[in-house]
Structure 1
Amino acid sequence: MRLCIVDDSESFRIYLESLLRQAGHDDVVSHASAEEFLAACGRRDARLPDLVLMDCIMPGLGGLGGTRRMKADPALADIPVIMITISDDDENLAAAFAAGAMDYLRKPPRRPELLSRVDSALRLKQAIDGRKARERELKAEKDCIAAILEYSHDGIAVLGHDGRFTFVSPGMERIFGLPADTYTTADRWIDTVFPDPAARTDLSDIVASRPAPGHVWRRLYPFADKNGQRRTCQIHFSTMPGGDLILNIEDVTLFTKQKEDLEKKHSRHQKDLEAAAEIQQSLLPRRFSMTDSLKFAWEFWPCESIGGDIFNVFPLGPRHVGLYMLDVSGHGVASSLVALSVYNFMHYQRSTLIDRSEGRIDVVPPETVLERLDEEFPFQKFSKFFTMFYMALDLATGQGRYCNAGHPPPWRVTPAGDILALPVRGTIVGLGGFQPYRAGEVTLAPGDKLILVSDGLADTLGPDGLFYGEERTLAVLRDKAGSPVGEVLAAMRTEAAAFCGHTPPRDDVSLLGVEFVRQKA
């Protein structure tokens, strides 16, 4: 800490400074007069001392006049002054204390006494500095809280035990538009602001009962502003340790309206999704009576959000049947619309699947069909890709030609229980010819079945967090190999539903099965 010696005697200043430095006080400055000291303190870059040792009798202002000037200056008033003089009469002592000195020493001072008085004064200065710093902190906090209350749009009020307001922030007037004298008692405020009887009753009950300290109650209330307009406020109620009730009030009229609008939009959106789901399911295969050589069945287990699964079985001319299953990436309306577009593209009357250029009905090879789909549905255009299995089956021979674009391989199931996954598989649709599509062939004997499954089944999670996987599906297929195709798929769905319990599937689960009964004559 800095010490300052003010004395007109140079030899005494040197003597006193040496005593202080020997005691460990290294930061010591001196001045020859009170005027010189005050001038030094008045400089803009001045570093003020923490203690002044002031000679009482000096030319000019002298020690008494200099001390009075210090105590009159707010910047210097808290600096302790120890008066040092050769005179020790009562009159000088009284004058020194009246001027503002905190202590008095005779000249020349004894070393132990000097150092003891100096240490006491410095401790006092430290205490004063600490108190002033805390006062500044408290003032800053108070100013900050006052500014928050002044400019906050929320209202804050405090109710005493007698039901009278002990504090009301300016935000209350901004919310309710009523002058401060409205907030005298809780009863008057409630009757003036809240027209709804149920709201008034609830508020009165809360004011009377009050939540336990540490607990917060929150309510929404309709109120009327100064113009009689209906609005909505949210009030947080909490109780101070002393029992006073704190009300934190927020005008949530706009938020409430936005919430209502959002709920209406969500309701409309949900209805749109439900309609889209109905359209999606309306596109699922229907029975056709073109042949008794083939039976087919399907199961569709949609997830909670609309997805991009779709499949179909349809005639391709007089002796062929086409069948496919596809799964568009993602969920929602966009995936569903892409699936619908592919469905329309795959309509059997289009030249996509049937070639009539030679005057006869020729089935377009499946690999060619997928190449055309890859060109028609690029990822860059739709931001979607899809997997797909497509087969053209000759009912006269049981020979099927197929192409698989990244879809889970179908299983061929014989009546004896032999299960074979169709091996040929290529890249997904939408990558713009990344790899050529290769065709595979399989010949179905009477009684053979072909089972197509979307990846939603294997990826289904049970309540224990485990995946359904393929083994459970294969177990059902072995067990039901000799059963009609409809019973096989029903058993697959029953097993999957038992595995999931009450947990809905994360993705659409699509099952499609065809059973080759006999060769078409």
Structure 2
Amino acid sequence: MPESSASPSRILIVDDNAHNIAIIFDALQDLGYELRIARDGQSALTKVSCESPDLILLDVMMPGIDGFETCRRLKANPETADVPVIFMTGMGETADRVRGFAAGGIDYLVKPVRLPELRARLTTHLTLNQLQRQLQTQNQALKSEVQRRQQVEAQLRDSQRLLEQKVAQRTEELRAANDLLAQKIQALQVAEADLQQTLATAETASAAKSQFLAK
């Protein structure tokens, strides 16, 4: 049955017999559904293209496009392919049922339709369809979350690679600076040794000169 907190389920009744439509309409109107009517297959396709129902009750024997072809066209259209279709017809042979399910119907009721059974099947199929849509929504949300996390992980990997590159670059800069500093220290040590040698030589010469002058 429709949920009280949500908009009522939209059901399209497709039948060329006004008496059949009246019976189905009276049987369902107290369940809170939003009921729409089409008198033939082409009208049904037009109505569905304007506003997609939650479920279609579809007669088979109608003028113009019959119910089987109407269902096939609905299922061939990606925008209406997911709308569940229940056939209601006086054609009760096994071959007819096979044709109905092959055309894409989810259920097959033989006229005269038992109204309590119709109400029960409607409730079941509407609930299943609602759960399927919820599952599709959750799957899409999960897919989006997985994609988002993959993007975040890719960004983190890119950031890590950039950080590693910067660390490697900075390490190389520090190594080069250390090498240059070591070269400068070595040059200072050589210069200091040369200076000490020069001072020692000068001191020796000065001492020798002093001794010479003292004689």
TM-score scaled by length of structure 2: 0.68
Per the TM alignment, residue 101 of structure 1 is displaced from its structure 2 partner at its CA by: 0.7
Residues 175, 2 of structure 1: alpha-carbon distance in 2 compared, 3 angstrom cutoff: same
Q: Conserved in 2, the CA contact under 8 Å of 1:78 and 1:128?
A: no
Instruction: Say whether 1:126 aligns with 2:108.
Output: no
SS in 1 for 2:132: helix
> Which structure has the highest strand share of the two?
1
Q: How does 1:257-406 map to 2 (within 5 A)?
A: none
Matched, 1:86 2:93: no
Partner SS for 1:78:
coil
Q: Which residue of 2 aligns with 1:69?
A: 73
Matches within 5 A, 1:483-502: none
String of CA shifts for 1:46-100, please: whole Å, max 9, x gaps.
Answer: 2x21111000111222110111112122222222111000110111111001111
Q: Which residue of 2 aligns with 1:25?
A: 32
Instruction: Name the amino acid aligned to 1:36.
Output: S
Aligned to 2:24: 16
How many residues in Structure 1 have an aligned counterpart in Structure 2? Answer: 164
Matched, 1:42 2:49: yes
Distance apart, 1:12 and its partner CA: 1.4
- The one-letter code of the counterpart of 1:87 is M
| Deviation for aligned residue 1:252 | 5.5
Please tell me the residue identity of whatever aligns with 1:79.
Answer: V
2:166, 2:56 → 1: CA distance?
A: 61
Q: CA deviation at 1:139?
A: 2.3
- Distance, in Å, in 2 between the alignment partners of 1:59 and 1:113 is 27
Deviation at 1:125, TM superposition (A): 0.8
Asked if residue 139 in structure 1 is aligned to residue 143 in structure 2, the reply is: yes
Percent pairwise identity: 29
CA deviation string 1:273-315 (max 9, x = no partner): xxxxxxxxxxxxxxxxxxxxxxxxxxxxxxxxxxxxxxxxxxx
Corresponding position of 1:516? none
Change (3 A) 1:42 1:147: farther
Distance 1:75 1:93 in 2: 25
Correspondences of 1:356-505 after superposition (within 5 Å): none
Take 1:252 and 1:66, find their aligned partners in 2: how far apart are those partners? 66
1:101 aligns with 2:105: yes
Q: Secondary structure at the match of 2:91?
A: coil
How does 1:199-218 map onto structure 2 within 5 Å?
A: none
Distance (Å, rounded) in 1 between the aligned partners of 2:152 and 2:14: 48
C-alpha separation in 1, matches of 2:139 and 2:77: 19
SS in 2 for 1:42: helix
Alpha-carbon shift at residue 142 of structure 1 (Å): 2.8
Determine which structure has greater relative contact order: mean sequence separation of CA pairs < 8 Å that are 6+ residues apart, divided by chain length: 2
Q: Is the 8 A contact 1:2 1:27 kept in 2?
A: yes
Is there any run of 5+ residues in structure 2 with no aligned partner, and where? 1-8, 175-215
Do the aligned residues in 2 keep the contact of 1:4 with 1:51 (CA within 8 Å)?
yes
SS of the aligned residue for 1:144 comes to helix
Contact 1:7/1:54 (<8 A) preserved: yes
> For residue 175 of structure 1, what is the aligned residue in structure 2?
161
Q: Is the 8 A contact 1:67 1:81 kept in 2?
A: yes
Structure with the bigger percentage of helix: 2
Distance across 2 between alignment mates of 1:70 and 1:145: 37
Pair 1:2 & 2:6 matched: no
Counterpart-to-counterpart distance in 1, 2:74 and 2:113: 23
SS in 1 for 2:105: coil
Q: Do the aligned partners of 1:52 and 1:82 also contact (CA within 8 Å) in 2?
A: yes
Secondary structure in structure 1 of the residue aligned to 2:117: helix
SS in 1 for 2:82: coil
> Partner of 2:206 in structure 1?
none
- Corresponding residue SS for 2:78: coil
- Secondary structure at the residue paired with 1:28? strand
Give the 3 Å change call, closer, same or farther, for CA 41–143 of structure 1 in structure 2: farther
Cα RMSD over matched residues?
2.6
Q: In 2, Cα distance between the equivalents of 1:141 and 1:10?
A: 50
Q: Structure 1, residues 201-230: CA drift from partner, whole Å, max 9, x if none? A: xxxxxxxxxxxxxxxxxxxxxxxxxxxxxx
